[in-house]
Amino acid sequence: MCDFQRIKVGVSACLIGQEVRYDGSHKRDGYITGTLGQYFDFLPLCPEVGAGLGIPRPTIRLIRRDSQIRAVNVKDASVDHTQALAHYLDKVVAQVSEVCGYILKKSSPSCGMERVKVYDPLKPNLPPERDGVGLFAQALRARFPLLPMEEEGRLCDPVLRENFIGRVFVYHRWRDLLATGLTPASLVDFHADHKYMLMAHDQDIARQLGQKVAQAGAVTDLAALGEEYIILLMAALSKRVTRGRHANVLMHLMGYLKPHIDALDREELLDTIHQYRQGYVPLVVPVTLLKHHFRRHPQPYIGRQHYLSPHPGELMLRNQL
């Protein structure tokens, strides 16, 4: 469970230091290049350059015109780049089809995922609404609805960061599964491997997926079942996990150890899980203690659970949860 392949991830090119911004500068992000770069192979793209806007170029912004969102030059709103930006994805769709995640530049009129400024030319004295989505980001979500996406600014939030990276690894494993050929047995195994991870995110969806997997051997269209499965799975994994849900999963895992550890070890585990639930220690503490006991008392079913090692420990994602 601790062997991780490098994964291809799309990224706004300015975030890895490429000088592609409107003024020829970049927005290199040290966490993306220095930390995530050890595990991800990046596909850097700049929709504005790719759409032919050039370097340097006039700045653009989103405006609301006739109930539509348009991308226009700031100083000359008659210069409209909406179609070029919206259709840039068509030029690179083959490359983007290979990625298992995408990191976008926040607030960008092309790449911003949310809260992008939208101006109203009819109300020049009012501040812009922050309800827009970058045109490339919007096209990306429409074409690849299951693709894990995040903005570099939101990666500063420990919960969002761990959630995004965890989904990237799950989506990568799913793509590998499809590449080797989906079978009823492989779908059952995939679901079993992710049972406790899924339980932490959404127990209701976990039950629904369990019911779907139970049909795997009887359905005539396994590919369709697989599509239904991954849609529900990625929807569940996009939800934030609370300390309470994590603690619930930790207690379930501890149940496998009760016949094998003594009263003092049980008390220590319970106390550590309680401390985590109360916010006194991060998630890595009870997880590390559980893994210690499972090394001493191996349980084959637990040994395959990605919940215990969902991503490389060196990323230290659970040290702040």
Question: Distance between CA atoms of 44 and 26, rounded to whole angstroms?
Answer: 12
Each of the 321 residues of the chain gets a pLDDT tens digit; together they read: 446 789 999 999 999 999 999 999 999 999 999 999 999 999 999 999 999 999 999 999 999 998 899 999 999 999 999 999 989 999 999 999 999 999 999 999 999 999 999 999 989 899 999 999 999 999 999 999 999 999 999 999 999 999 999 999 999 999 999 999 999 999 999 999 999 999 999 999 999 999 999 999 999 999 999 999 999 999 999 999 999 999 999 999 999 999 999 999 999 999 999 999 999 999 999 999 999 999 999 999 999 999 999 999 999 999 999
**Residue with tokens 């015109």, as numbered in its chain:** 65
C-alpha 301/C-alpha 193 separation (Å) is: 8
Of residues 283, 208, 218, the one with CA closest to residue 253? 283
Distance CA 198, CA 123 (A): 47
Inter-residue contact 283 to 246 (CB < 8 Å): yes
pTM exceeds 0.85: yes
Q: What is the pLDDT of residue 4?
A: 79
Find tokens 């032919």 and name the residue. 52
Structure tokens that stand for 93 in this block: 């769709």
Q: Which helix (H) or strand (E) holds 129?
A: strand 129-132
Report pLDDT for 3: 60
Sign, CA torsion 222/227/231/236? positive
Which residues are paired to 40 by β-bridges? 7
Q: Strand, coil or helix: what is 299?
A: coil
Contacts 24+ apart (CB under 8 A), 260-267: 260/293, 260/296, 260/297, 261/293, 261/297, 265/293
